[in-house]
Amino acid sequence: MGAVTYPDMQVAALLNENFVPVQVNFEKVSKLVNEFQAIWTPNLNVLDRHQNRVYWVEGWLPPSEFTAMLGVARGQYFLRGKKYKEAEPLFKAVFEQHPRSQFAPEALYYRGVSRYLNSHEVEELKEDWIMLQRFYPQSAWSLRSNIL
């Protein structure tokens, strides 16, 4: 991460602007490592103010995927905080700006969830999940949406 992804200017700007970035040495923070059951690095976590882990990724990501991941993570931060209106455009931005990203189907899935939880209109959920099944039929997220 330190060699390729973190030096990327867009990655740095997004982390500085939208998150409080904390980096700790895996070998020196055994209490935290145990709390988060961190067994592997890279180990990337997004937490709310109550230390709830709202998103988590293990493994390396290139800058473009990392950027998309941050969008999903930020969406989850608002979604889990029941701020559905704030979450929805963040998920939307991921699949609009990174349609070929591995995180795009997940963003589309949760955009539908955000819209539904905000409005309780099932048509809004259907709209996104049908688009998910159409554009990302091989995705695990498409499978999870297959109840429609």
Partner 1 sequence: MSQTNINWINDYEEGLERVRDEKKPLFLDFFKDG
Residue numbers at the binding site for partner 1 (CB under 8 A): 1-3, 6-7, 9, 11-13, 15-16, 18-27, 29, 32-33, 36, 38, 41-49, 51, 54, 70, 73-74, 77
For the bound state, the minimum distance from the C-beta of residue 33 to partner 1, rounded and expressed in Å, comes to: 7
Which of residues 22 and 147 has its CB atom nearest to partner 1 in the complex? 22
For the bound state, the minimum distance from the C-beta of residue 25 to partner 1, rounded and expressed in Å, comes to: 6
Contact 6, 62 (CB under 8 A): no
Contact 129, 146 (CB under 8 A): no
Which of residues 3 and 147 has its CB atom nearest to partner 1 in the complex? 3
- Residue length, the chain? 148
Considering only CA atoms, which of 99, 102, 54 is closest in space to residue 75? 54
Which of residues 2 and 100 has its CB atom nearest to partner 1 in the complex? 2
* Burial 61-83, CB ≥16 within 10 A → b, else e: bebbbbbbbbbbbbbbbbbeeee
Q: How far apart are CA 117 and CA 106, in angstroms?
A: 16
For the bound state, the minimum distance from the C-beta of residue 39 to partner 1, rounded and expressed in Å, comes to: 10
For the bound state, the minimum distance from the C-beta of residue 109 to partner 1, rounded and expressed in Å, comes to: 20
Which of residues 79 and 113 has its CB atom nearest to partner 1 in the complex? 79
